[in-house]
C-alpha cells in the first residue's frame, strides 16, 4: 500500500477542471476524510458539503471514480485504483455551485412537483388513524420510506440526463410511498403529477438508482408500481 | 385547453402508450417464441422458396399467426423507436410520435402485404 | 452539470438495458427489409427463390444468425422487464439477465447448427 494518494478534485463551477492533490494515506480512511484533509491542510478554498459524517444525512454525496456515493461511507481502500489514484467530483445532473457542492433545489422542486408531500384529513382532535403494518400497501410504502433525499439515485439515472423534466427516481419513489398511504387525501392529484411526459412512464428500468442507493431502496420497484397504478387509473378514466 | 387539462390529457396518453407497449410485448413474446422455433426447424438442410410456400400457401393458421405478429409489431416497434428518437436524437415529443406513426404504418402495410404474399404465393 | 460515463454504467442491469434497446433498434429497422423480401412471394415461388439464393451468401447467413441472436436477447430482456413491471417483486432480477444471455446464446447456437447441418 502506497503512503500517499493522488487525488483529483473538481474545482470550479460547471466549467472547471480537475486539480491534483497529494494526500497521506491512512488506515480506515474514507473519501470524506480525504476531502477534509485537502480543505484543512492543503487548500482552504475547496468547497464541499457534509454534516453527520456517519452515513445518516446524505449531505456528503459526491461522484467518486465516476460513481455517485456517500463519501463518509466510502472507504478509500474500496475505491482507490492500484496506482493510488482517486477522482472526486460533484454529483452529476445538478448545477455546480462551486467545486463539490451542487445546487439541489431542482431536485427538491421535482419532489414537490411529484406531490411528494403528505396531505391528511385528520386533525389533532381526531383519533389516530389505524394502519395495519402488515398490509400490502403499508409494506410497499415501508420499502421506500427510508429515503433521505441524498440525490445519489438522481445523479445515477440516464433518463434524468436525457429528459430534463423527468421527475427522477427519488421523487417518484416518494410519490409511491404516499400512493400507498391510505391516510392521504390527494391520490388523484398525485397520480396525475407522476403521469405525463416527465413521469413514471419515462423510466426504462436501467436500475442504476437501485444499484447505487446507499439505503438499499429500490426506486425501480416503486416506479414499476406507479406505472401499473397510473395505467390502471387511466384506463378506468380516473386519472 | 388550458395548461392543466392539456398536461392531464398528455398524462393519459403516456399511460396508454406504456400500456399498449406492454400488451403488444406479451403478444410478441408468444409470436417470437413460435417464430424462433419455426426458423430453427425450417433452415435445416437449406431454405428454398418452395419449402416456405409449401408451408404457408393457403394455410389459414399461418396467415392468422403472422397477421397477428405484424399487428403487434406495428404497435410495439414505433413506441420503442419514439423513445430512442426523444432520448438519443433529442427529438421533441410531437416529432418523435409522428416519426413513430409513420414507421408503424410502413410496418403494417408492408407486413400485411408480406402475409398476403406468402398466403397467396402470387396466385 | 456533470454527466455520467461508463464507470457509472458498468453494472448488469444497465448493460441489459443497452442490449435491449440496441437489439430492438436493429430488429425494428430490419423489419421493413424482411417484409419486403417476403413480399416477393407475390411473384410466386420464383420471386422468393431468387432472393433466397442471394441470401445463401455467407455474409448474409452471418447477418441472419446475428438477427436471431438479437431477437432471442430482446425477447429474454423483454420478459425480464415484464416480470419487473408486473410480477411479484424480486429486485432487479439479475438472475434473469444471466438466464436471458444464456437463452440468447443457446438459441443462436441452435440456429447456427441448423444452418450448418
Same domain, A20 and A125: no
Q: Cβ of B72 under 8 Å from any chain C Cβ?
A: no
pLDDT exceeds 50 at position C30: yes
Backbone angles phi, psi at A93, to 5 degrees: 70, 15
Structure confidence at residue A86 (pLDDT): 96
Choose the mutation target among C3, C8, C97 for the interface with A, i.e. most A CBs under 10 Å.
Answer: C8
Same domain, A56 and A111: no
Q: Which of A102, A121, A153 is the endpoint of a domain?
A: A102
Tens of pLDDT, residue by residue over B40-98, are 888 888 888 888 888 888 889 999 999 999 999 999 999 999 999 999 998 998 999 99
Name which of A29-38, B1-10, C71-80 the model is least confident about.
B1-10
User: Three-class SS of residue C70?
Assistant: helix
In chain A the beta strands, taken as DSSP E runs, fall at 4-12, 16-24, 61-64, 67-70, 85-89, 96-98, 101-102
Residue with cell 461511507: A73
Domain count, chain A: 2
CATH number at residue A121: 1.10.1060.10
Domain boundaries, position C16: 6-116
Distance from CA of C23 to the nearest CA of B (A): 11
Structure confidence at residue C34 (pLDDT): 94
Domains, chain B, in order of start with CATH, read: 3-120 (1.20.1300.10)
CATH number at residue A24: 3.10.20.30
With a pLDDT cut of 70, the percent of chain B lying above it is 97
Secondary structure of chain B in HEC code, one letter for each residue: CCHHHHHHHHHHHHHHHHHHHHHHHHHHHHHHHHHHHHHHHHCCCCCCHHHHHHHHCCCHHHHHHHHHHHHHHHHHHHHHHHHHHHHCCCCCHHHHHHHHHHHHHHHHHHHHHHHHHHHHCCC
Domain boundaries, position A33: 4-102
CATH number at residue C10: 1.20.1300.10
Structure confidence at residue A200 (pLDDT): 94
Structure confidence at residue B2 (pLDDT): 55
Give the Cα separation of A233 and C77 in Å (integer): 27
Same domain, A112 and A206: yes
Distance from CA of B118 to the nearest CA of C (A): 6
Q: Cβ of B18 under 8 Å from any chain A Cβ?
A: yes
Structure confidence at residue B3 (pLDDT): 63
List, for chain A, all residue ranges whose pLDDT scores fall below the cut of 70.
Answer: 1
Structure confidence at residue B14 (pLDDT): 87
Same domain, A219 and A113: yes
- Of A213, A171, A212, A208, the closest CA to residue A193 belongs to A171
Query: Count H helices, E strands: chain C?
Result: 5, 0
Same domain, A117 and A26: no
Give this complex's ipTM. Answer: 0.90
Q: Which residues are registered as beta bridge partners of A96?
A: A102
Q: Is residue C50 part of a domain?
A: yes
Same domain, A120 and A211: yes
Mean pLDDT over residues C98-104, rounded? 93
Domain count, chain C: 1
- How far from A204 is each of A1, A163, A184, A207, C74, CA to CA, in Å? 41, 12, 28, 8, 14
Q: Which of A197, A204, A239 sits opposite B93 (nearest CB)?
A: A197
Give the Cα separation of B119 and A173 in Å (integer): 50
Contacts of B82 in chain A (CB under 8 A): none
Q: Cβ of A202 under 8 Å from any chain C Cβ?
A: no
Banded pLDDT at B1 (limits 50, 70, 90): very low
Q: Which of A102, A136, A161 is the endpoint of a domain?
A: A102
Q: Do A197 and B83 touch (CB under 8 A)?
A: no
| Higher-scoring residue by pLDDT: C37, A61 | A61
Same domain, A45 and A63: yes
Q: Which of A102, A128, A143 is the endpoint of a domain?
A: A102
- Cα A180–A56–A169 angle (5° rounding)? 40
Please state whether beta strands A85-89 and A4-12 pair in parallel, antiparallel, or not at all (unpaired): parallel
Query: Closest-CA residue in chain B for A191?
Result: B11
Q: Is residue C52 part of a domain?
A: yes
Same domain, A17 and A49: yes
Q: Is residue C1 part of a domain?
A: no
The mean predicted confidence, pLDDT, of chain C is 91
Q: Cβ of A211 under 8 Å from any chain C Cβ?
A: yes
Same domain, A84 and A181: no
Query: What is the separation of C-alpha A101 from the centre of its chain, rounded to a whole number of angstroms?
Result: 14
Contacts of A201 in chain B (CB under 8 A): 14-15, 17-18
Q: Is residue C27 part of a domain?
A: yes
Same domain, A86 and A110: no
Same domain, A230 and A129: yes
Structure confidence at residue A1 (pLDDT): 59
Tens of pLDDT, residue by residue over C39-71, are 888 887 888 888 888 888 889 999 999 999 999
- Of A229, A170, A164, A169, the closest CA to residue A197 belongs to A164
Give the Cα separation of C104 and C84 in Å (integer): 19
Structure confidence at residue C51 (pLDDT): 86
Q: Chains B, C: CB contacts under 8 A, how many? A: 111
Amino acid at each position: 500500500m502506497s503512503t500517499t494518494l493522488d487525488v483529483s478534485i473538481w474545482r470550479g463551477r460547471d466549467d472547471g477542471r480537475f486539480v491534483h492533490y497529494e494526500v497521506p494515506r491512512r488506515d480506515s480512511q474514507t473519501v470524506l476524510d480525504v476531502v477534509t484533509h485537502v480543505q484543512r491542510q492543503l487548500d482552504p478554498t475547496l468547497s464541499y458539503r457534509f454534516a453527520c459524517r456517519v452515513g445518516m444525512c446524505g449531505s456528503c454525496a459526491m461522484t467518486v471514480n465516476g460513481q455517485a456515493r456517500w463519501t463518509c461511507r466510502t472507504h478509500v481502500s474500496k475505491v482507490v485504483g492500484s496506482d493510488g489514484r482517486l477522482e472526486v467530483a460533484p454529483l452529476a445532473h445538478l448545477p455546480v455551485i462551486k467545486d463539490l457542492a451542487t445546487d439541489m433545489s431542482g431536485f427538491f422542486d421535482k419532489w414537490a412537483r411529484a406531490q411528494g408531500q403528505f396531505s391528511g384529513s385528520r386533525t389533532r382532535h381526531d383519533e389516530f388513524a389505524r394502519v395495519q403494518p402488515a398490509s400490502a400497501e403499508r409494506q410497499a410504502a415501508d420499502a421506500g420510506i427510508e429515503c433521505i433525499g441524498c440525490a445519489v439515485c438522481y445523479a445515477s439515472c440516464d433518463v434524468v440526463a436525457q429528459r430534463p423534466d423527468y421527475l427522477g427516481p427519488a421523487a417518484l419513489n416518494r410519490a409511491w410511498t404516499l400512493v400507498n398511504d391510505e391516510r392521504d387525501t390527494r391520490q388523484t392529484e398525485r397520480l396525475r403529477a407522476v403521469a405525463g411526459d416527465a413521469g413514471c412512464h419515462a423510466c426504462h428500468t436501467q436500475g442504476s438508482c437501485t444499484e447505487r442507493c446507499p439505503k438499499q431502496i429500490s426506486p425501480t420497484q416503486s416506479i414499476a408500481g406507479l406505472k401499473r397504478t397510473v395505467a390502471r387509473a387511466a384506463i378506468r378514466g380516473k386519472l | 385547453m388550458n395548461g392543466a387539462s392539456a398536461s392531464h390529457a398528455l398524462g393519459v396518453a403516456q399511460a396508454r402508450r406504456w400500456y399498449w407497449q406492454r400488451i403488444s410485448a406479451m403478444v410478441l413474446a408468444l409470436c417470437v417464441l413460435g417464430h424462433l422455433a419455426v426458423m430453427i426447424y425450417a433452415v435445416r438442410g437449406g431454405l428454398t422458396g418452395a419449402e416456405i410456400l409449401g408451408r404457408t400457401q393457403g394455410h389459414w393458421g399461418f396467415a392468422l399467426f403472422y397477421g397477428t405478429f405484424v399487428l403487434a409489431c406495428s404497435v410495439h416497434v414505433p413506441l420503442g423507436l419514439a423513445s430512442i428518437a426523444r432520448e438519443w436524437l433529442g427529438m421533441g415529443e410531437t416529432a418523435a410520435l409522428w416519426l413513430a406513426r409513420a414507421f408503424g404504418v410502413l410496418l403494417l402495410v408492408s407486413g400485411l402485404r408480406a402475409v398476403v404474399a406468402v398466403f397467396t404465393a402470387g396466385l | 452539470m456533470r454527466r455520467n460515463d461508463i464507470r457509472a454504467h458498468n453494472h448488469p442491469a444497465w448493460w441489459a438495458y443497452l442490449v435491449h434497446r440496441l437489439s430492438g433498434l436493429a430488429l425494428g429497422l430490419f423489419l421493413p427489409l424482411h417484409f419486403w423480401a417476403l413480399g416477393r412471394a407475390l411473384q410466386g415461388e420464383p420471386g422468393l427463390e431468387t432472393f433466397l439464393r442471394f441470401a445463401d451468401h455467407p455474409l448474409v447467413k452471418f447477418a441472419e444468425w446475428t438477427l436471431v441472436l438479437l431477437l432471442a436477447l430482446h425477447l429474454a430482456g423483454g420478459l425480464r422487464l415484464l416480470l419487473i413491471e408486473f410480477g411479484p417483486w424480486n429486485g432487479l432480477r439479475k438472475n434473469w439477465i444471466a438466464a436471458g444471455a444464456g437463452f440468447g446464446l443457446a438459441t443462436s447456437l441452435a440456429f447456427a447448427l441448423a444452418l450448418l447441418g
